[in-house]
Chains A and B, each alone.
Chain A
Amino acid sequence: MDGDSTSGGDRRGRHSHRAEPTTLTGSDPPDERDEDSRNGDGATAWQPLVPGVPAARGVDDEPAPAGNETDRPAADVRRPARTRGDLVRTGVRGVGQLLVTAGLVVLLFVVYEVWVTDLFSDRKQTELSQELREDWTADPTVPTLPDGGISEVPLGQGFAFIRIPAFGEDYVKVVLEGTDEEELVEGPGHYVDSAMPGEQGNFALAGHRVGKGSPFLDLDQLAPGDPIVIETADSWFTYRVVGPDDPNGIPSQQIVLPSDVSVIAPTPNGPLDGPPSGAYLTLTTCHPKFSARERLIVHAVLDGDPVSKADAPDGPPALTEG
């Protein structure tokens, strides 16, 4: 800032460092640095300052009597130029900082999507699981049909547990009724019009692949024969990923467009209003990971009769096989 105060001060500062002796003797050969001094106020600006003023006074030379008058115009011309430069620099820096900030916000969003939503979902799953267990032991709010099926479940309510041993022994999620985002953030959701567990038709579930608890993250790794166990109020249903010998020719796994609703038809890949031809389970999630371009579909078929929970409180043998 010192050098900025006036052009005279700037110049004198330099001289006082580099060529003080010459300046003091008064025989100051005009050099290139002093060009504008010579053109404009050179003589008058320099002569009075040289004798008495020590180098250190270069800072506050405003009161300097002679240099004052002549230096001021030069300073006034220079200052706005400096300020404009400063403005540009501040503006550019501001834009740069905004862009960096935007980048960090996007990164934070990725962290949110992939990890933070897991925390939220886990908490909701824990609550849902407790609620459901309490409902089942106390006054069952979810009416069950005589054959162990479930009639009507209000949207957003948990009504079953899904266990996939291939995803780990501790893999258990509450299945909610409905496939809107508000249900899916809490856990796998049941397509409202599709069959219920154990029923003839297609028991279809949707679940998130990445984030929100990532219930269906590894869906593509399910192999034919892998069990998927559904637990309802009083029964266990064991589904197995279909093999190549499926009588209806249903694939174990397929990747379809988001608009291909036939995968959740009563007979998968059949007409939506067609008749059921078996008790299927269909899981849908997004594909590829982190994208919603396509859907990954896994089909399973009911294996054997439902097992009463009274007979097998710890679950069917499929849970512990392998």
Chain B
Amino acid sequence: MYTWIWRHLPGGTGLKAVQALVLVLAVCALLLFVVFPAIEPSLPFNDVTVDQ
């Protein structure tokens, strides 16, 4: 998977490294700001209330 992505990035090693870093950061941002907040309410370990 990563090999495939690396092969398909254009440019030399330096350029590829920069693009790979940008990709990693983009994925992290997507997870932190979109995916995690969306799935979090359905996870069980956030309950702090007492209810029946």
Residues of A within 8 A of B (CB): 93-94, 97-98, 101, 105, 108-109, 112-113, 116, 179, 181, 184, 189, 191, 206-209, 216, 256, 258-261, 263-264, 284-286, 290-292, 295, 297
The tally of residues in B whose CB lies under 8 Å from a CB in A reads 18
Chain B residues within 8 Å of A258, by CB: 47, 49-51
B40 smallest CB distance to A (angstroms):
8
Q: Does B15 interact with chain A (Cβ within 8 Å)? A: no
Given A108-B32, A112-B36, A286:B47 Cβ within 8 A: yes
In the complex, what distance in Å separates the CA atom of A116 from the CA atom of B49? 22
Q: What are 19 inter-chain pairs, A to B, with CB distance below 8 A?
A: A97-B1, A98-B1, A101-B1, A108-B32, A112-B32, A116-B32, A181-B41, A184-B49, A258-B47, A258-B49, A258-B50, A259-B50, A263-B50, A286-B45, A286-B47, A286-B48, A292-B48, A295-B50, A297-B50
B39 nearest in chain A by CB position: A109
Q: Does B52 interact with chain A (Cβ within 8 Å)? A: yes
Chain A residues within 8 Å of B1, by CB: 94, 97-98, 101
Chain A residues within 8 Å of B46, by CB: 181, 184, 208, 286, 292
Given A97-B1, A108-B31, A112-B36, A191:B49 Cβ within 8 A: yes
In the complex, what distance in Å separates the CA atom of A20 from the CA atom of B16? 43
Of the listed residues B1, B3, B41, the one surrounded by the most CB atoms of chain A closer than 10 A to its CB is B1
Q: Does B44 interact with chain A (Cβ within 8 Å)? A: yes
Chain B residues within 8 Å of A206, by CB: 48-50
A93 touches B48 (CB 8 A): no
In the complex, what distance in Å separates the CA atom of A259 from the CA atom of B40? 21
A260 smallest CB distance to B (angstroms):
6
B26 smallest CB distance to A (angstroms):
13
Chain A residues within 8 Å of B51, by CB: 258-259, 261
In the complex, what distance in Å separates the CA atom of A104 from the CA atom of B32? 13
Of the listed residues B28, B32, B41, the one surrounded by the most CB atoms of chain A closer than 10 A to its CB is B32
In the complex, what distance in Å separates the CA atom of A244 from the CA atom of B50? 24
